[in-house]
Amino acid sequence: MDFTIPNEWVEFGDALIKFIDREVAALEHEHRVLLGSERTIYTEEGRYVPAVQDLRRTVRKRSAELGFYTAFGDEALGGGGLGAQAAVYVQERVNTHCGPARVLVQTVVLPSPFTNGLSPVLKHLDPEVLAEHRDGLASGDKTMCFGLSEPDAGSDVFGMRTRAVRDGDDWVISGSKQWITNSPYADYAMIFAITDEEKVAARKGGISGFFVRTDTPGFSVPSVIPIMGHLGADTGIVHLDQLRVPDRQRLGPLHNGLSVAMDGVNAGRLSMAGSCVGIARWALNQALAYVKIRKTFGRLIAEHQAVQIMLAECAMDIYAVKSMLRHCAWLIDEGRSATKEVSMAKACATEMVSRVVDKAIQVHGAIGLTNELRLEEAYRWARVLRIPDGTAEIQRRTIARRLLSGDTEI
């Protein structure tokens, strides 16, 4: 295997960063009063104010115009098809350059596989239905949410209670979803529901996916869920009350929704891991710059062995996960099975970034705890990621099960 970075990826990354630095940063500066505080970013209910939603849409659409937004979408969906290795490389570069907590950057200039753009889950949609909605999603004008998790069905998907009942050519869906990213703002939702009780009880399928317009009667997002001290969020609770969906909007074969969902979940885990490597590198860069100017006991703190050890451990952590992630992405691009490797990458990357950011804060001392440097924001962001898209414990269970089933290649 050859991990040489092709010039095409480098040029793509350079162009994307130039777009962020010139156009997105200009919008951030123009609207700095609005974007400078969560008190102005969110409503009292915790949703993005309309002006912020409009700015995010503007950036998405401009990214799409320049060819960034759909570059990693499957070619079958009309995307650029750059592949998993290119995706993790670019995610790392963008996050290393930008750092955390930029409302107009993360999941905006590049779409999340769950919520925006040409999600791999869309490959399972009826071609005629896809044709009706693809352009809005590809242009960045419209967005989606991914409705799998429920109050009693997070890690244990078969604990799902949402039901879809056949009624002629339609399905009628009732239930609720929780922790659904982008649900307060989405134009479409991918909703997963029980369609065969016996299969679900036997844990052998019985769940189906549906592509839903969020303006359909019976779909509502009554509240958002702020987390980790934030005043608002893009995560919400979805209520489904006798929601009627035509069978032609089903995602993939009947009762096979979990396999369909995993296309999105695995893409999301890989993208998240790439972002983690980027944020970890960003945090290490902050620490490296600081130790060269901060003095204690008459010496630069870069000269203190205890500080050097922390810096070295950060670099070791990043290198190990980056190597793991690149190999995992290579397996995917080669069309090989990478189930356990994706779980390894997700678990290791999300745990690694927490360790690195924690050490970066420690190196900075008291100033690292303030919101001036954004390290505390990175710390909160990093802590969150060990739970969504499969907890660290679920990843370990997946890895162990694959090993015990004979998948022992490492």
Single-letter amino acid code for the residue at 101? A
For 180-207, write each residue's pLDDT tens digit. Answer: 999 999 999 999 999 999 999 999 999 9
CA-to-CA distance for 145 and 124, rounded, in angstroms? 16
Residues 6+ apart with CB under 8 A from 72: 79, 80, 81, 82, 83, 86, 87, 90, 110
Kindly provide the b/e burial profile for residues 41-50, where b requires at least 16 CB atoms within 10 angstroms of the residue's own CB.
bbeeebbbee
170 Cβ contact partners less than 8 Å away, ≥ 6 residues apart: 244, 245, 246, 247
144-147 and 188-194 strand pairing: parallel
Residue 213 contacts by C-beta under 8 Å, 6 or more apart in sequence? 187, 188, 219
Mean pLDDT of 272-284: 98
Each residue of 9-50: pLDDT tens digit?
999 999 999 999 999 999 999 999 999 999 999 999 999 999
Give the confidence band of 1 by pLDDT, cuts at 50, 70, 90: confident
pLDDT recorded at residue 215: 98
Q: Average per-residue pLDDT in the chain? A: 96
Rounded Cα distance between 138 and 55, Å, is 17
Q: Quick one: which of 123, 97, 104 has its CA closest to 13? A: 97
Indicate if the pLDDT at residue 398 is higher than 80. yes
pLDDT given at position 261:
93
Q: Mean per-residue pLDDT for 77-82?
A: 94
pLDDT at position 116 is 85
* For range 167-181, the mean pLDDT: 97
For the chain, list the domains and their CATH numbers: 144-256 (2.40.110.10), 259-404 (1.20.140.10)
Per-residue confidence (pLDDT) for residue 152, from 0 to 100: 87
Residue 209 has pLDDT above 90, yes or no: yes
- With residues binned 3-state (H G I as helix, E B as strand, rest as coil), the percentages for the chain, rounded to 5, are 50, 15, 30
Tens-place pLDDT, residues 281-297: 999 999 999 999 999 99
pLDDT for residue 309: 98
Show the DSSP H helices in 20-112 as ranges: 25-30, 32-35, 38-41, 50-65, 84-98
CA–CA separation, 242 and 67 (whole Å): 39
Mean pLDDT value across residues 86-111: 96
- Lookup result for tokens 């299969």: 199
Q: Please give the pLDDT value at position 155.
A: 84
pLDDT of residue 153: 87
Instruction: Output the pTM of the full model.
Output: 0.95
Q: Are strands 219-224 and 235-246 parallel, antiparallel or unpaired?
A: antiparallel
